Amino acid sequence: MPNFTWDVGPIAVELPKGPLLLFVGGIAVLMLLFGLIKKQNDLTTFGLFMGAVIAVASSFLPDPLAIRYYSLLFVGVFLGGYALLNWQIVRGGGGPEVAGDFIVYGVIGVLAGARLGHVIFYDFEKAMEDPTWVFRIWEGGLASHGAVIGLILAMWLFTKRRGVPFLEGADRFSFSAALGATLVRVGNFFNSEIVGRVVPDQSWGVRFPRYDVGVAEAPLRYPTQAFEALLGIFVLFCIWLVDRLAGKEKRPRGLLISTFFIVYFSGRFIVEFWKEHQVFDPNALFDMGQFLSIPGIILGAVGIVWSLREKQPVGWPSDEVDDDEDDDDEDDAEDEEDEAESRDNLADEIAEELAKKQTPDLNDRT
């Protein structure tokens, strides 16, 4: 059976903090100005948010700043996720700028949700001992279950502000979520974290000396990060297949996101049996990751049944349609005003004619 040692450092490159912060700060300023000029509130808010984050983080960030492979893969998550979301929204009838607007919500939802999820579910005591550690996100500590919760809240807020059904947005985002689940686990592998349990007979597996520090020879472990990366690819394939078999834009609303939930969290529940124990006692029946996966499995199963029973049609509301409807409303209002004016003029003419008939002619009297 194959086995090898993974002893690659997690840092891809180190950059001086000052120029990097100036570069990112410049992007934040451009986003703020562009949002103000174009009157895009979401972009303006995100520019302000980025500026605030840079201002706060500048005092905590080390110099030079280490750029990890994990961070680069996270950039891939956002860029790839944007491309998939844009494809889905445009295919459903939405404008090409909608996906870009959601990135504002998605970035905040993923980072805040993943960090708070890790703090609450896995490292609450450490956060209580050192509250500033919660903000030092570059030191590691992101929970995928928390990221899912953050994305759900982000999508709910985004669709609510745009008047779009929540399940419509969630369906369109399911492809992006599957891609994110894949690339994040590749990042975990690069970081030598979220490792698997030790293989009992040591006949195959991966050695992680950067995880098993202080051990003469790191034991062979199950590569659970690779298992979950393959799971993400499988989930992406399942969503694509369901979308195709259900008729793409003829499918019932809620089917794709429900497929994501039931397939992904079922897979997560199974993989946890080979993953190193987290939080709970090793003798416990289930681990924390499995308990957190159960609601997702239930939600996915209920969602599929509901979707196939209700069969709500899909379709992203088009801004152009809304503009046309507004124009039609304005035209109708103008027509009503013209009709009212015509009625008033006709009434005045009738009143004048009656007045002439009722007024005696002086020449006739003489």
57 occurs within a structural domain: no
87 & 152 share domain: yes
277 occurs within a structural domain: yes
279 occurs within a structural domain: yes
104 & 82 share domain: yes
35 occurs within a structural domain: no
Q: Helix axis angle, 224-245 relative to 255-271, nearest 10°?
A: 160
45 occurs within a structural domain: no
Tens digit of pLDDT at every position of the chain (366 positions):
688 999 998 888 888 888 888 888 888 888 888 888 877 777 787 788 788 878 877 777 777 888 888 888 888 888 899 899 999 999 999 988 888 888 778 888 888 888 888 788 778 888 888 887 777 776 667 777 788 888 889 999 999 988 999 999 999 999 999 999 999 999 999 989 889 999 999 999 999 999 998 888 999 999 999 999 999 999 999 999 999 999 999 999 999 999 999 999 999 999 999 998 776 666 777 888 899 899 999 999 999 999 999 999 999 987 644 444 444 555 555 656 656 666 666 666 666 666 655 555 444 443
The residue range of the domain holding 355 is 323-365
208, 157 in Cβ contact below 8 A?
no
Sign of the torsion angle spanned by Cα atoms 171, 173, 176, 180? negative
290 & 353 share domain: no
Q: Using a cut of 0.85, tell me whether the model's pTM lies above it.
A: no
211 & 336 share domain: no
272 & 346 share domain: no
33 occurs within a structural domain: no
The number of distinct structural domains making up the chain is 2
Local structure of residue 220 (DSSP, 8 states):
E
327 & 208 share domain: no
Whole-angstrom distance, CA of residue 109 vs CA of residue 104: 9
162 & 288 share domain: yes
226 occurs within a structural domain: yes
264 & 338 share domain: no
154 & 222 share domain: yes
Dump strand ranges (E) for 102-242. Answer: 205-207, 220-221
